[in-house]
């Protein structure tokens, strides 16, 4: 049994596909398959089920998986310990980014470039996904740190540093009843329960904003009637401009809203806030490379 065979096995499990795993490993797919078959012969057990559209673990493979990961982590720790004597940082950092993350508040690309410049021997992977799936990946050890939308203040099993904290607003055309019903001279407002009368436009399930919206509506005793959903916030704005519903979004620049003839209506009773945060496992980063990357991220927010 060789460490590289365990690495190939774990990578195939994470990618659920031999071709994607080989691409991630920078190897030819037949070579990865051959090494895993050799590992299976040595163990006397089939570890992977290759019959479906995606590769899954067999019962034996599921039992072996945590030990394979532990062996790889132990080997990485040996390398890290040796590297500390030369000041060299190696390893791998797996970073998750929520779809539609605001680049103005947090320049992720610059942080990644700076870290790569300072630590060229560290492999960095970037995954864009929904917030709830990235939370599961953090808890399962598949991600080291992520920037996600927070459906609750303190998700279990992780630690959080809030990066963005702003109110959710209802975005409607200027002539919409909600846009003209607020007190003067202040901006228009709508109680949360008032949104129950309208079709809503929202980010998809699994995002922090959608999680917050569904939670506060449930607490208010109704279920939001979401007619349209899309990941890019500008698409939601355009849908609202066409009169297809009330878009529920974090604060959007007035210049953009005015371009589409829209107004932002403040949600009250209760006020609802959207939060984006850096999140990492409660036990701390899994290795010096992840710890150094997290330190840089936290210093930049």
Q: What is the pLDDT of residues 211-237, one digit of tens each?
A: 899 999 999 999 999 999 988 888 999
Q: Of 68, 88, 108, which one is at a domain's C-terminal end? A: 88
Q: How many domains does the chain have?
A: 2
268 domain residue, yes or no: yes
Based on the domain organization, do 172 and 76 belong to the same domain? no
The answer on pLDDT for 23 being more than 80 is yes
Q: Which of 62, 88, 114 is the last residue of a domain?
A: 88
- Predicted confidence at residue 130, as pLDDT, reads 86
Q: What is the pLDDT of residue 186?
A: 60
* pLDDT at residue 257 tops 90: no
Q: Is residue 136 part of a domain?
A: no
Q: Is residue 253 part of a domain?
A: yes
Instruction: Provide the residue range defining the domain that includes 255.
Output: 166-273
Same structural domain, 84 and 172: no
- The answer to whether position 241 is within a domain reads yes
Give the CATH number of the domain where residue 6 resides: 1.10.10.10
pLDDT over 70, % of the chain: 93
pLDDT recorded at residue 232: 82
Calpha distance 77→74 (Å, rounded): 5
Quick one: pLDDT at residue 71?
A: 92
User: How would residue 63 be classed by pLDDT, with cut points 50, 70 and 90?
Assistant: very high
Residue 115 lies in a domain: no
Task: Say which CATH number the domain at 215 has.
Answer: 3.40.190.10
Q: Is residue 174 part of a domain?
A: yes
Asked if the structure places residue 135 within a domain, the reply is no
| Tens of pLDDT, residues 156-177 | 889 999 988 888 899 999 889 9
pLDDT at 251 (0 to 100): 74
* Residue 102 within any structural domain of the chain: no
Task: State residue 272's pLDDT score.
Answer: 87
């Amino acid at each position: 049994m060789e460490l590289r065979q365990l690495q190939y096995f774990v990578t195939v499990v994470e990618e659920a596909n031999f071709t994607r795993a080989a691409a991630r490993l920078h190897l030819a797919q037949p070579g990865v398959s051959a090494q895993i078959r050799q590992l299976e012969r040595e163990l006397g057990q089939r570890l992977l089920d290759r019959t479906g559209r995606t590769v899954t673990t067999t019962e034996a493979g599921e039992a072996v998986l945590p030990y394979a990961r532990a062996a790889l982590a132990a080997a990485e720790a040996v390398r890290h310990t040796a590297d500390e004597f030369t000041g060299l940082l190696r390893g791998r950092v797996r970073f998750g980014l929520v779809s539609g993350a605001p680049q103005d508040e947090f320049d992720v690309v610059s942080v990644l470039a700076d870290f790569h410049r300072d630590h060229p021997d560290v492999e960095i992977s970037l995954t864009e996904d929904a917030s709830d799936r990235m939370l599961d990946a953090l808890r399962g050890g598949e991600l080291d740190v992520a920037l996600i939308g927070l459906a609750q203040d303190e998700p279990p099993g992780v630690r959080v540093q809030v990066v963005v904290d702003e109110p959710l607003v209802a975005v409607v055309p200027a002539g919409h009843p909600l846009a003209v019903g607020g007190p003067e001279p202040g901006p228009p407002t709508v109680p949360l329960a008032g949104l129950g009368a309208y079709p809503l436009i929202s980010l998809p399930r699994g995002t922090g904003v959608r999680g917050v919206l569904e939670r506060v509506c449930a607490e208010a005793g109704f279920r939001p009637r979401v007619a349209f959903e899309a990941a890019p916030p500008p698409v939601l704005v355009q849908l609202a401009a066409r009169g297809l519903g009330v878009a529920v979004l974090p604060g959007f620049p007035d210049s953009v809203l005015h371009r589409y003839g829209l107004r932002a209506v403040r949600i009250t009773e209760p006020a609802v806030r959207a939060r984006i945060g850096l999140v990492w496992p409660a036990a701390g980063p899994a290795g010096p490379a992840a710890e150094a990357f997290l330190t840089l991220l936290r210093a930049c927010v």
